[in-house]
Amino acid sequence: EAGVVQSPRYKIIEKKQPVAFWCNPISGHNTLYWYLQNLGQGPELLIRYENEEAVDDSQLPKDRFSAERLKGVDSTLKIQPAELGDSAVYLCASSSDHFTGELFFGEGSRLTVL
Amino acid sequence: AQSVTQPDIHITVSEGASLELRCNYSYGATPYLFWYVQSPGQGLQLLLKYFSGDTLVQGIKGFEAEFKRSQSSFNLRKPSVHWSDAAEYFCAVGDNTGNQFYFGTGTSLTVIP
């Protein structure tokens, strides 16, 4: 069984440029999470999807961040325009409907904003 | 407010020595507690979880953790550390639906020969 797949693994951009991250969850996992992980910190939730619906986006900075999960499978997280402080790792995770307490994480997308 | 505190930012142990990583939590309802491990350049992987019942839980890779409600703690232990255990360890607290997960800031483990 394939795990959570994220791309790109690394991205370097200049400030004010746009950037997008893609995530494909484990097949059959209807819940998808995007987390932000700053250096030396634990993951912080940005947005959580149940199928196509964003059920918790309270921590998503909506002035520059957006996300979508069309068709309830893969998801895209976008930043436009990027700022220096957005340099971090963006983690995607998924979980099954029958919650077992386990989030399955991808390897993350490391963003560097210059 | 819900929070997780991992007081040790970095720990160094010798291979074969025992390990204990500390975790304290603050949670308004019945806590569900987790330990995740993150190897360099990798995503997080669940080591173990506590929902209810026996307060000593066993996980993968020889890890165990003990829930102590009176101390609001969920410390992770391993009797004998292997070099491959070097990684970042995150404690997390949440509810029983997966809707809420709060991660600590992590403890970085270095294993020396």
How far away is chain B from the Cα of A15, in angstroms, using its nearest Cα? 24
B87 bridge partner residues = B109
> How high does pLDDT run on average in chain A?
93
The predicted pLDDT at position B99 comes to 72
* Whether B5 contacts chain A with CB within 8 A: no
DSSP B32-71: EEEEEEE-TTS-EEEEEEE-SS-SEEE-GGG-EEEEEGGG
- Tens digit of each residue's pLDDT, chain B (113 residues): 788 999 999 999 999 999 999 999 998 777 899 999 999 888 899 999 998 888 999 999 999 999 999 999 999 999 999 999 999 999 999 877 767 789 999 999 999 99
Q: By mean pLDDT, which of A61-70, A84-93, B96-105 is the weakest?
A: B96-105
Q: CB distance A103–B98 less than 8 Å?
A: yes
Query: What integer pLDDT is reported at residue B27 of this predicted model?
Result: 85
What does the alpha-carbon distance between residue B34 and residue B57 come to, in Å, rounded to a whole number?
Answer: 10
Question: What's the whole-number mean pLDDT along residues A76-93?
Answer: 97
The DSSP line for A46-90 is EEEEETTEEEE-TTS-TTTEEEE-GGGS-EEEEESS--GGG-EEE
- Interchain proximity B46–A103, CB inside 8 Å: yes
**Chain A neighbors of B98, CB-CB under 8 A:** 31, 95, 99, 101, 103
Q: What is the pLDDT of residues A6-15, one digit of tens each?
A: 999 999 999 9
Contact residues on chain A for B43, CB-CB shorter than 8 A: 3-4, 91, 93, 104-108
- Pull the structure tokens for residue A13: 């951009």
In chain B, which among 12-41 make CB contacts under 8 A with chain A?
32, 34, 36, 41
3-state helix, strand, coil in chain B (%, to 5): 10, 50, 40
Q: Which of A48, A38, A105 is nearest to B98 (CA)?
A: A48
**CA separation for the pair A61, B2 (Å, rounded):** 21
User: B96 and chain A: CB distance < 8 Å anywhere?
Assistant: yes
Whether pLDDT at A98 is above 70 = no
